[in-house]
Amino acid sequence: MQAETILIGQVLSFSGHPFHLDPEEAAQIDEAVAFGDGKILAVGNETTLLAQFPEAQVTRHPGKLILAGFVDAHVHYPQTAMIASWGKRLIDWLNSYTFPEEGKFGDPAYAVEIASRYLDLTAAHGTTTMCSFCTIHPESVDAFFQAAQARGQRVVAGKTCMDRNAPDFLRDTAQSAYDQSKALIGKWHGADRISYAITPRFSPTSTPAQLEAMGALWAEHPDCLMQTHLSEQTDEIEWVRSLFPETRDYLDTYEQFGLLGARGLYGHAIHLEQRERDQLREHGAGLVHCPTSNTFIGSGLFDMAGLMAEGQRIGLATDTGGGSSFSMLRTMAAAYEIGQLRGTPLHAAQLIWLATQGSAETLHMGDVIGNLSPGKEADLVVLDLASTPAIAQRSERAETLWEAVFPTLMMGDDRAIAEVWIGGRRV
């Protein structure tokens, strides 16, 4: 039994969708949150919670913002050591940096080292859940899940499947991808706070036979998520068109093999055709916006406003290591900047919602994480809204909470993370 804990400060939760309602009306600010045994017990008035839980351990955070832990909906933990590698477009970047690094993960000791490093780095930035691609090596999946399990952390991941257009040392086959993925599902899916995602990297690196095998596996395990990439760069789309000349568009390379569905996660989704947008919405699929990656690799500007208005499900992600930061704060800043370039700036409440509840809902975990409400798991972050002199001098002039929060979203980093709680335990 964990002792009951009460955190007192400015407690942020969401009672509505800030893209469909006035952003400030969708958010709720309370004085305290109580949790115990890994679950949120109550959110509300300080005096009421202190009376309701008289034996609780109490920590006061005056002026700080207490919110759900950040949820990063699309990452590549094996790219941790090569983050911020210079100057390549997607395909060259994969060949020059990513594939050589991912080749090292057949070594279990190296996989364990990087998995632990990645989870340490992301926890320091306030990220409590992520959905990660691993490598083709089952050892890379075991290492990531073992490290997360030891931390009591809710995570999603899967063995990346590739049987063409990759170095020989990073290719599996349609059959081995199916067999190894199925074994990993049996070993890990549903263990503690761990979920499995069937993971074909993207159409160019999987033959039709492998995509068909992944579709069959998903049909056998429909409670698993399926993650891949979609329409990240224009030259990538042309490559897909040359590899699949009979398909209607990029999405169709997944759709025809049973890889389009409500539990599908499609990273980037920048250059979508209208048919693709219609099909993604109709199936309730999840789109994942990766703004620091999209600018760092020169991919394009995600249509957040247009896709939200259509009723798409959208999460937010760092896309480590195509993205240039482990920080969801930096990712929110980049999402704001891309919104500005499209003429549709995002409110602070919308940015925080994307990084918490929006991403959780995209991962089909909105019932357990992503918001501070009774019954949800106790993953929390405490943000210092004056963590650096530059941020402090701006936030102290704020006339509203949102004015005080916004400088931290734009300029904050790991110094803004005052506390992190995972499963009700302070990290």
pLDDT in tens, 165-203: 999 999 999 999 999 999 999 999 999 999 999 999 999
- 231 within a domain of the structure (yes/no): yes
Which class for 24: exposed (0-12), middle (13-18), buried (19 or more C-beta within 10 A)? middle
* Same-domain status, 115 and 12: no
Q: Which residue type is seen at 195? A: S
Q: Is the whole-model pTM more than 0.95?
A: yes
Same domain, 262 and 308: yes
State residue 84's pLDDT score: 85
**Cα–Cα distance, 310 to 327 (Å, whole number):** 28
Residue 291, pLDDT score: 97
Q: Are residues 213 and 261 in the same domain?
A: yes
Say whether both 25 and 100 belong to one domain: no
**Count: domains in the chain:** 2
Average pLDDT of span 16-24: 97
Percent of the chain, pLDDT > 90? Answer: 93
| Domain C-terminal end among 341, 362, 383 | 362
380 and 329 within one domain: no
Domain match, 140 and 278 both: yes
Q: What is the mean pLDDT of the chain?
A: 96
pLDDT class of 93 with cuts at 50, 70, 90: confident
Q: What is the distance between the alpha carbons of residues 315 and 148, in angstroms, rounded to a whole number?
A: 21
Q: Same domain for 398 and 310?
A: no
Q: Are residues 101 and 231 in the same domain?
A: yes
What integer is the mean pLDDT of 303-317? 98
User: Is-cis flag, bond preceding 321, omega within 30?
Assistant: yes
pLDDT at residue number 89:
72
Q: Is the separation of the CB atoms in 372 and 378 below 8 Å?
A: no
63 and 84 both lie in a single domain: no
User: pLDDT confidence of 342, banded at 50, 70, 90?
Assistant: very high
Residues 154, 28, single domain; the answer is: no
Q: What is the pLDDT at residue 70?
A: 99
pLDDT value of residue 186: 98
- Choose one of 322, 339, 362: the last residue of a domain: 362
Q: Which CATH number characterizes residue 11's domain?
A: 2.30.40.10
Same domain, 109 and 218: yes
Return d(Cα 13, Cα 371) in angstroms, integer: 6
pLDDT at position 94: 83
Give domain status of residue 74, yes or no: no
**Domain end marker among 345, 362, 379:** 362
Q: Could you list the residue range(s) of the whole structural domain that residue 380 is in?
A: 5-69+370-426
